[in-house]
Amino acid sequence: MSTFNSAAIEEFKGVWVFCEQRQGKMMPTNFELLSEGRKLADDLGCDLCGILLGDNVEGLAAELGGYGADKIYVCESPLLKDYTTDAYAKVICEVVEEYKPEAFLIGATNIGRDLGPRCAARLHTGLCADCTGLAVDMDKYKQFLRDSSTLDVDGMKWNGEDRNLKMTRPAFGGHLMATIICPRFRPCMATVRPGVMKKAPFDQAKSDACQIVKPAFALAAEDMKTEVVEVVKAAKKLVDLIGAEVVVSVGRGISKDIKQGIALAEELAAELGGVVGSSRACVDSGWITADHQVGQTGKTVHPRIYVALGISGAIQHKAGMQESECIIAVNKNDTAPIFEVADYGITGDLFKVTPMLIEAIRSAKA
């Protein structure tokens, strides 16, 4: 065990969020995690802090404060301009060892999924990957505080038990939700699925009150085994499912005429100002690219309107869309599980129903 993690659990205080930036642009998960982290920090009675790495990124910190951070630790160096596992893990571990947060949240983006386990291993602590729910149960802790103020509890020591972060994630192929704790080590680390936590409204007063801290760290070129030579953007524009207000998804129900099924979904999405999503069945069949996939192993969305065309509603699909504000399902089988979560269910052939929906929207607009 490292000397760091032999420190008493009570020495660890604060909820921290890794704030990811790419080429000076904030990732939306930062705001979701800070909003959720604020609730956890309030329950725990501690500070919420962000940690932001990059080159010349201090100017981005105030925005993070607007989502509830009390402090942002800003680590700047030309060596941190682009993400590399070695440099980011080294700096984060140094700062975490110095300030000892009790919980550390990271967005489960491609970068977060790489960075989180590396840091957890170095810090000799546990990480729960791909979480969809976070909570702390403070009941026992509050009882302890009550007892210790009224009883003679010489030597009685809080073991930190119920300051544990309860990290919930799908298990066994999504058939049950497991709640996991990390009782003996700190910080409790979690990567959190993008799009699951709700972003709070931006608060200018909180942003103004947010403190910027510049921690000391040592980083030299020799610490890095890789060098980013060039950042090349994907030639194809990926669909922004997570930020979309309307998602029209297709499932295996389009198999009769795949081209026509996708064209109908695109037309309906265009009428509603939305984007096209899909079930995994369509991705696995090669009918649509993986960036469209909604569900447990795809994206989690909660748009204002979610339309499911020819999707059965398997648990793994529902895991990614059931928090949508309004769900409209079209399926020819009236016992399809998608109807269990649908606000409006239409039993029928999607190739007949979808053109009628498009027409109805057009005439309503006219």
In the bound state with ligand FAD, the residue whose beta carbon lies nearer, of 43 and 291, is 291
Among 44, 268, 311, 341, binds ligand FAD (CB under 6 A): 311
For the CB of residue 289, give the shortest distance to ligand FAD in the complex, in Å. Answer: 14
User: DSSP secondary structure string, 51-93?
Assistant: EEEESS-GGGHHHHHTTT-SEEEEEE-GGGSS--HHHHHHHHH
38 binding ligand FAD? (CB under 6 A): no
For position 314 contacting ligand FAD by CB under 6 A, the verdict is: yes
Q: How far is the CB of 122 from ligand FAD (least distance, A)?
A: 29
Q: Is 143 in the site for ligand FAD (CB under 6 A)?
A: no
The yes or no reply on residue 279 touching ligand FAD (CB under 6 A) is: yes
Between CA 31 and CA 197 the distance in angstroms is 9
Q: Any contact of residue 298 with ligand FAD (CB under 6 A)? A: yes
Helix, strand or coil, per DSSP, at residue 152: coil
- The token duo for 182 is 């990390």
225-254 mask for ligand FAD (x: CB under 6 A)? --------------------------xxx-
293 binds ligand FAD (CB under 6 A): yes
Q: Can the peptide bond before residue 187 be classed as cis, meaning omega within 30 degrees of 0?
A: yes
Residue 300 touches ligand FAD, criterion: CB under 6 A: no
Size of the site for ligand FAD (CB under 6 A): 29
Binding piece for ligand FAD, criterion CB under 6 A, among 18-26, 181-189, 308-316, 355-363: 308-316
Q: Contact, 312 vs 331, CB < 8 A? A: yes
Question: Minimum CB separation from ligand FAD for residue 210, in Å?
Answer: 36
Q: Which residue has the tokens 């760290």?
A: 217
* Chain Cα centroid distance, residue 259: 33
Strands 305-309 and 246-250: parallel
Q: Which is nearer to ligand FAD, 164 or 354 (CB)?
A: 354
Pairing between β-strand 165-171 and β-strand 133-136 as defined by DSSP bridges: antiparallel
Amino acid at 298: G
Among 312, 323, 329, 339, binds ligand FAD (CB under 6 A): 312
Q: Return the range that interacts with ligand FAD (CB under 6 A); candidates 63-71, 187-195, 310-318, 356-364.
A: 310-318
**What CA–CA distances, in Å, run from 80 to 53, 64, 88, 121, 214?**
6, 19, 7, 21, 14
171-230 positions binding ligand FAD, by CB under 6 A? 173-174
Name the H helices within the chain.
28-44, 61-65, 85-99, 110-122, 139-150, 204-209, 258-272, 280-284, 315-318, 338-341, 350-365
Instruction: Choose one: 23-31, 120-128, 138-146, 274-282; the region binding ligand FAD (CB under 6 A).
Output: 274-282
By CB under 6 A, is residue 307 in contact with ligand FAD? no
Question: β-strand 275-278 against 246-250: which pairing, if any?
Answer: parallel
Kindly state the smallest distance separating residue 167's Cβ from ligand FAD, in Å: 19
Q: Which residues bind ligand FAD (CB under 6 A)?
A: 173-174, 251-253, 256, 279-281, 293, 295-298, 310-312, 314, 316-317, 320, 330-333, 336, 349-351
